[in-house]
């Protein structure tokens, strides 16, 4: 049976595929809130049961947190062994009053831009996860068998830091090893161009508290003679970038590679409209390294950002206080082979060296993960890129990702498996925000895309 028959089956079965997705979206699998632990269990059970309807041997595996779902199907037939990863947990829905509908009563809505699936998890990541399952459902219905050996690996803690993920992967490494790991948790470039993500930035977080006097002081009595920790903190923050937008932490750019010429040419061919990108959020001028293109700034260059700063009186009205403490949360996005622990040490030493007398610094680290780059020399990557291009009618691109998706690096370091990140989300899907949605087109063409990729790589 031909690929065309599989694609026709996908088209014909779309109403039923949408109903199955709506069923999954009704489960309140919020991983970060213990009140929804039972719902996370229910979502895992739902996936096990759905895979069973396809004859896939899957089971719910316990962890100290929420369970994993692991399943296996298909023969060892000399074709690539594929692993498919997704996550069934979702973000909290607060603030609830900003939703136009019940976030766990998903609906198919008609909008000016087309039909959308509205509900929490529709795009991140239940809708994306189900594109792969529905592609296999159609494949099995038409061909009666499986394209190759396939392992399913779904987690329920991605939205809460994945505390159980690495231990589980290490304990089950032999079972989870495959030739390639498929991940559907990304999106289309500028909401229209299919893409395979090949660069993921790492993330280092630091929380800094500077203390000067041992108590809050009256600014009339002590102002001028007593050191103000907010003054110290703001001077430190102001020094983190030079006039050209480069980060000034010593050694920060060690092991930051230049963008390969072929990738730079491909990115230039995307004709990224940075003016619109910034204009959509009320900005107009790129603020990063001035000798880099906008896409380089987002995808392949490291950053330093202040994510929060506070101290002193923050209530209504006015209070003439000279605070005892000032606080900031600062994050670094990392690329290439930047060493997260080394950058943390250098940053802390830089700050300590800038402290005046009577001031001390306290630190709290918030994670440190390096960047990951995908090796695309395996012919499966080019086969998948061509398959995506055929489905969407637009040449698919290898792109970077400004965010951090740690699972991609875990597949490389723990399992020795390269990840292939393909997703169909759009920029306006409002993931993590009220009124999250996933376009019906993204869901439909996402299913068709995976069918084409399966055909191309096997």
The tokens for 370 are: 């390096």
CATH superfamily of 3-200+372-457: Zn peptidases (3.40.630.10)
Closest CA to 76 of 178, 2, 176, 154: 178
* Under 8 Å between Cβ of 328 and 272: no
Same CATH topology for 3-200+372-457 and 202-260+285-369: the answer is no
Average pLDDT over residues 132-157: 97
Q: What is the pLDDT of residue 262?
A: 87
Q: Which segments of 159-247 are extended strands (E)? A: 180-183, 195-200, 202-211, 217-218
pLDDT tops 70 at residue 345: yes
Average pLDDT over residues 324-329: 98
Q: What is the pLDDT of residue 367?
A: 84
pLDDT tops 90 at residue 223: yes
* Under 8 Å between Cβ of 419 and 411: yes
Q: What is the pLDDT of residue 1?
A: 63
pLDDT above 70: percentage of residues in the chain = 100
pLDDT tops 70 at residue 196: yes
Pairing between strand 195-200 and 397-401? Answer: parallel
- Find where tokens 């009563």 sit: 105
Q: What are the tens digits of pLDDT across the range 23-44?
A: 999 999 999 999 999 999 999 9
Average pLDDT over residues 295-303: 95
In sequence order, what are the beta bridge partners of 57?
72
Class assignment of domain 202-260+285-369? alpha beta
Pairing between strand 325-334 and 202-211? Answer: antiparallel
pTM (predicted TM-score): 0.87
pLDDT category at 96 given cuts 50, 70, 90 is very high
Write the burial class of residue 133 (CB in 10 Å: 0-12 exposed, 13-18 middle, 19+ buried).
Answer: buried
Q: What is the pLDDT of residue 205?
A: 95
Closest CA to 193 of 391, 383, 376: 391
Is the bond into 125 cis (omega within 30 degrees of 0)? Answer: yes
Residue 252: CA count within 13 A, CB half-sphere: 19
Rounded distance between C-alpha atoms, residue 283 and residue 286, angstroms: 8
To 5 degrees, how large is the angle CA 76–CA 81–CA 86?
Answer: 135
Rounded distance between C-alpha atoms, residue 14 and residue 209, angstroms: 54
Listed by start position, the domains of the chain span 3-200+372-457, 202-260+285-369
Q: What are the tens digits of pLDDT across the range 150-177?
A: 999 999 999 998 999 999 999 999 999 9
The tokens for 5 are: 């028959």
Rg of the chain on CA atoms, in Å: 24
pLDDT category at 295 given cuts 50, 70, 90 is very high
* Under 8 Å between Cβ of 392 and 405: no
Any idea which of 84-98, 240-254, 402-416 has the lowest mean pLDDT?
A: 402-416
Rounded distance between C-alpha atoms, residue 309 and residue 207, angstroms: 10
The tokens for 233 are: 């903190």
Residues 6+ apart with CB under 8 A from 74: 145, 146, 147, 148, 149, 150
Q: What is the pLDDT of residue 280?
A: 87
Q: What are the tens digits of pLDDT across the range 350-362?
A: 999 999 999 999 9
Question: What's the mean per-residue pLDDT of the chain?
Answer: 96
pLDDT category at 106 given cuts 50, 70, 90 is very high
Q: What is the pLDDT of residue 253?
A: 97
Rounded distance between C-alpha atoms, residue 141 and residue 269, angstroms: 39
């Amino acid at each position: 049976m031909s690929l065309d028959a599989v694609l026709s089956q996908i088209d014909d079965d779309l109403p039923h595929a949408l109903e199955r997705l709506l069923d999954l979206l009704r489960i309140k699998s919020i991983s970060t809130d213990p009140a929804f632990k039972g719902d996370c269990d229910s979502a895992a059970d739902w996936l096990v049961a759905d895979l069973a309807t396809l004859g896939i041997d899957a089971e719910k595996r316990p962890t100290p947190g929420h369970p994993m779902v692991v399943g296996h199907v298909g023969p060892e037939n000399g074709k690539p062994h594929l692993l498919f990863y997704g996550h069934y947990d979702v973000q909290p829905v607060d603030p609830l009053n900003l939703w136009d509908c019940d976030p766990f009563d998903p609906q198919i809505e008609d909008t000016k831009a087309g039909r959308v699936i509205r509900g929490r998890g529709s795009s991140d990541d239940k809708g994306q996860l189900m594109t792969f399952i529905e592609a296999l459902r159609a494949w099995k219905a038409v061909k009666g068998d499986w394209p190759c050996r396939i392992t399913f690996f779904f987690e329920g803690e991605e939205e809460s830091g994945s505390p159980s993920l690495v231990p589980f992967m290490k304990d089950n490494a032999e079972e989870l090893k495959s030739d390639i790991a498929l991940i559907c948790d990304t999106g289309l470039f500028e909401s229209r161009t299919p893409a395979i993500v090949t660069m993921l930035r790492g993330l280092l977080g630091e929380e800094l508290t500077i203390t000067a006097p041992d108590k809050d002081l009256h600014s009339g009595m002590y102002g001028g003679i007593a050191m103000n920790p907010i003054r110290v903190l703001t001077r430190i923050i102001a020094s983190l970038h030079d006039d050209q937008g480069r980060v000034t932490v010593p050694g920060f750019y060690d092991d930051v590679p230049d963008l390969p010429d072929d990738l730079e040419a491909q990115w230039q061919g995307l004709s990224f409209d940075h003016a619109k990108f910034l204009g959509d959020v009320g900005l107009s001028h790129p603020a990063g390294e001035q000798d880099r293109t906008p896409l380089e700034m987002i995808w392949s260059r490291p950053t330093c950002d202040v994510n929060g700063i506070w101290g002193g009186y923050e209530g209504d009205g006015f209070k003439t206080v000279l605070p005892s403490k000032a606080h900031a949360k600062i994050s670094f996005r990392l690329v290439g082979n930047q060493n997260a622990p080394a950058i943390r040490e250098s940053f802390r030493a830089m700050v300590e060296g800038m402290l005046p007398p009577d001031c001390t610094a306290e630190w709290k680290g918030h994670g440190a993960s390096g960047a990951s780059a995908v090796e695309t020399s395996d012919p499966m990557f080019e086969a998948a890129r061509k398959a995506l291009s055929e489905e969407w009618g637009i040449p698919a691109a290898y792109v970077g990702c400004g965010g951090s998706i740690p699972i991609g690096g875990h597949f490389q370091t723990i399992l020795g498996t390269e990840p292939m990140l393909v997703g169909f989300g759009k920029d306006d899907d409002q993931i993590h925000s009220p009124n999250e949605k996933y376009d019906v087109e993204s869901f439909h063409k996402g299913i068709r895309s995976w069918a084409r990729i399966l055909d191309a790589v096997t």
